[in-house]
Chain A
Amino acid sequence: MPFRDATELRNAVRSRQVKAVDALEAVLQRALAANPALNAFHEILVDDARAQAQAIDRTIAAGRDPGPMAGIPLAVKDNITTRIGQTTCSSRMLQGYRSPFDATCVERLQAAGAIVMGKTNLDEFAMGSSSERCAWGPVRNPWDPSRVPGGSSGGSAVAAAAALCGVALGSDTGGSIRQPASLCGCVGFKPTYGRVSRWGLVAFGSSLDQVGPLTASVRDAALTYAVMAGADPRDSTTAPTAVQDPLAELDTPVQGLRVGVPRQYLSADNDPRVNATVQASLDRLRGAGATLVEVDLPLTDAGISTYYVIAPAEASSNLARFDGIRYGFRAAARAGQSLDDLYAESRGQGFGPEVQRRIMLGTYVLSAGYYDAYYGRALRVRRRIKDEFDAAFRVCDVIAGPTSPTPAFAMGGLKDPLQMYLCDVYTVNTNIAGIPGISVPVGFAMEGTRRLPIGLHLQAPAMEDARLLRVAAMVERLHPEANARPPLPLA
């Protein structure tokens, strides 16, 4: 892409230095060339995208304002509905499904001039941390195609990191935006729960899910968030309070910032290269005028246990709608089959193994006799986790640590489901508490001759998304060498 980031592309389009159709074409050609090797996209919507770009150029030629996202090619995670193309959740259950409506986030971004250019692959129904469990084949890491991109928004992370789009949308239930952003070397931002409408996001864990951007720069993330965020009458869990402009003070200097560093985060269980890179990043912040404050989050390790009760419980309810009747996959009818058999056969054949595991976990923890012991208890731990964050934020402005305990791992490297779940140890509590979190590239681990990106994870109190983005921009400015693109084309 001939542009540093999407904001630069937008500026060039708005100031008529480049036509939207030409900017789009450059991005489309990269995406079409790289996708066979990386499998970031399920669909690249070439004709639809060109038509949208022509409409932007006509708006500009007519002297009208094309909007703050003018000409930015948007890659949309395939669990977010779009009227154009399919919305499959990377599941056989929704193969060929065409949504009758656009998600609110997509609608707002398109109204602001963004161009929907494709749908990106994910772990089926956003359940996974490697994007290997995609019905349309695994997604590959652009820095080393023998490794995973992380997940579940792996396709969106690859598209953002390798400049196969302008901006990508993801969803984050326990780390699904931030962990792949860390493993692919882009910015990944999960806003406060309730800031971005979930209308049109296929529900997984309704009290945890949030839509957010994956981008080449913090200012791109701030721009995309500013356009998407705010109350939506179609999602009653969106907050009614006004959205602070995240772009206004993005250049705030580091001086006076208090960075909380939980003693639990730089654990000896992490890859030592991750700990060294995160420590070096914290040292740069201190060198630039920040104060590092040690904070205590003793329930960090309880997050995975809490999450793997709450998220499957909510998923088992949400995914009950896939029954083979109104839409989605229906198993071939057999003589003498009951309606229950049809449901069970359709769900048995339409869902992949991980989705089935989570539905069964959720069904178990919600079943009579186990509800209080599992679900009730997890909800109480949830409040204690939130209280712990509240206490920590009384002495610091943001909390910092690694996004992922390791850099990108080898495909097929984590076969045991529980080991895969533990990838999200530093990100699940953000969703459990409902606070905002962001991953910013801060360095690389060397693996032979290859570089594997490492992200710094920042968290802020609920509704302090603008503050979080300000601090992320500080971190970005302190690590110019980490802001690199993977080499293309790829074999």
Chain B
Amino acid sequence: MSHAHPLTTQEVAHVARLARLAIPADRLEDLRGELSSVLGHVARLTAIPMEGVEPMTTPFELVNRLDPDEPGPCLDIQDLLRNAPAVEGRCLAVPKVLAEES
């Protein structure tokens, strides 16, 4: 973070790929400026002394709670399938995923 260098459009395109977001090429430059501006603001955190401070991931440091492993009712399968973009019978339909390898 101490490196206050602005992002490059190549880095923005790489992050978009990591995030599984198809971003049109003509939007990369705007995004580069916007993300650089936010990261520049965030860089002020480097000025805050942090020696001996433990990270805090959640407001209440609760201990994991185990529930008894008991069968219970499931949601109705038709309720779930009605939201699917593509269905075949009682299954979700997806494009072929093994086509290239086969």
Contacts and interface: CB of A to CB of B under 8 A. Distances in A.
Contact of B44 (A207, A239, A305, A384): A305
B59 A386 contact: yes
A236 B62 CA distance: 9
B90 interface: no
A98 B83 contact: yes
A360 B21 contact: yes
Contacts of B76: 100
B25 interface: no
Contacts of A384: 48, 50, 53
A92 B53 CA distance: 42
B26 interface: no
The majority secondary structure among interface residues of chain A is: helix
Nearest to A96: B83
B57 A380 contact: no
A305 B44 CA distance: 7
Contacts of A360: 12, 15-16, 19, 21, 31, 35
Interface string B1-40: 1100000000010011111111110000001001101110
Interface stretch (A4-12, A176-184, A328-336, A399-407): A328-336
Among B35, B50, B55, the one with the most A-chain Cβ atoms within 10 Å of its Cβ is B55
B55 A379 contact: yes
Nearest to A325: B94
B20 A302 contact: no
A491 interface: no
Query: Which 9 A-B pairs rank lowest in CB-CB distance, beginning with the nearest?
Result: A434-B59, A348-B22, A379-B55, A330-B85, A100-B79, A327-B83, A383-B56, A373-B1, A344-B22
Given A308-B42, A356-B23, 5 more contacts: A305-B43, A305-B45, A308-B41, A340-B20, A344-B20
Interface of A: 97-98, 100-101, 193-194, 207, 233, 236-237, 239, 299, 301-302, 304-306, 308-309, 316, 320, 323-330, 333, 337-345, 347-349, 351, 356-357, 359-361, 363-364, 367, 370, 373-374, 376-384, 386, 416-418, 421, 433-435, 462
